[in-house]
């Protein structure tokens, strides 16, 4: 698949099959992530690959965080929500959690460290797509909860930038974008 075609046909695929993804494919995807641009050669991306039961550990953290925000006694509705939180990481056979570990070099702007890792995520999404896999970049407040940071052993300025859920696609999706002319001003 050529790059322009991959860019245009990649979609966020939220529904994937439970079938396992070969490790070699995941490795190809991770390597693509590491070829993203980065200023000052900092390579600030960090990846955590969750498969199998490791995903349940993350689900436990999600549920624990949700429970911490609920009032006791837990209602039936809250109990269902907790189950949903538990099961969230089971929606895909592979989750690549992507984090940024910003450089301590005083020349480096932290915004650029995030920029580099976001570029790595796009590489990951495109690589997955080019291999016939479906992927979605998931975030939300959960990414920034201290318990989640702790689960991945992140300290200091390190932050999660998202969970990339990956598997064989189990849905079709049509993309939609404004024409680039609507968001572009030519300055000659």
Ligand X SMILES: Cc1cc2nc3c(=O)[nH]c(=O)nc-3n(C[C@H](O)[C@H](O)[C@H](O)COP(=O)(O)O)c2cc1C
The CA-atom distances, in angstroms, between 188 and each of 181, 182, 185 are 15, 17, 10
- Smallest distance from ligand X to CB 110, Å: 17
70/81 Cα distance (integer angstroms): 10
Structure tokens that stand for 116 in this block: 């580099």
Q: Are 10 and 29 in contact (CB under 8 A)?
A: no
Cβ distance to ligand X smaller for residue 13 or 21: 13
The contacts of residue 57 (CB under 8 Å, 6+ apart) are 50, 151
The single residue among 63, 128, 138, 166 that binds ligand X, judged by CB under 6 A, is 138
What is the closest distance, in whole angstroms, from the C-beta atom of residue 139 to ligand X in the complex? Answer: 4
Q: How far from the centroid of its chain's Cα atoms is residue 12's Cα?
A: 11
Number of residues that bind ligand X (CB under 6 A): 11
> Which is closer to ligand X, CB of 9 or CB of 79?
9
Question: Which residues from 93-112 bind ligand X, rule CB under 6 A?
Answer: none
**What binding mask, one character per residue, do residues 139-178 give for ligand X by CB under 6 A, x or -?**
xx---------------------x----------x-x---
Using the minimum distance from each CB to ligand X, give the nearer residue, 48 or 114: 114
Residue closer to ligand X (CB basis): 11 or 17: 11
Looking at 47, 114, 137, 168, which residue binds ligand X (CB under 6 A)? 137
Determine contact, residues 182/114, Cβ cutoff 8 Å.
Answer: no
Here the tokens at position 63 are: 């549920």
Q: Which residue's structure tokens are 């895909």?
A: 92
Q: For the window 8-37, what string marks contact with ligand X as x by the rule CB under 6 A?
A: ---xx-x-----------------------
Query: Does the bond joining 33 to the residue before it have cis omega, within 30 degrees of 0?
Result: no
* Contact criterion met (CB below 8 Å) for 134 and 13: yes
Residue 44 Cβ vs ligand X, minimum distance, rounded to whole Å:
17
- List interacting residues with ligand X (CB under 6 A): 11-12, 14, 136-140, 162, 173, 175
């Amino acid at each position: 698949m050529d790059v322009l075609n991959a860019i245009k046909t990649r979609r966020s695929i939220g529904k994937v099959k439970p079938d396992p993804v070969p490790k070699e494919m995941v490795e190809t995807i991770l390597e693509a992530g590491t070829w993203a641009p980065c200023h000052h050669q900092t390579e600030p991306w960090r990846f955590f690959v969750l498969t199998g039961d490791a995903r349940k550990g993350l689900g436990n953290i999600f549920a624990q965080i949700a429970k911490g925000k609920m009032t006791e006694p837990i209602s039936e509705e809250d109990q269902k929500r907790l189950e949903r939180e538990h099961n969230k990481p089971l929606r895909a056979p592979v989750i690549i959690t992507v984090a940024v570990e910003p450089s301590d070099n005083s020349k480096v702007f932290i915004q650029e460290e995030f920029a580099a890792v976001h570029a790595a995520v796009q590489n990951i999404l495109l690589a997955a797509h080019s291999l016939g896999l479906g992927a979605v970049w998931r975030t939300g407040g959960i990414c920034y909860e201290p318990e989640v940071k702790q689960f991945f052993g992140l300290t200091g300025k390190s932050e999660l930038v998202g969970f990339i859920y990956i598997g064989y696609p189990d849905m079709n999706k049509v993309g939609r974008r404004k024409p680039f002319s609507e968001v572009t001003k030519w300055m000659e």
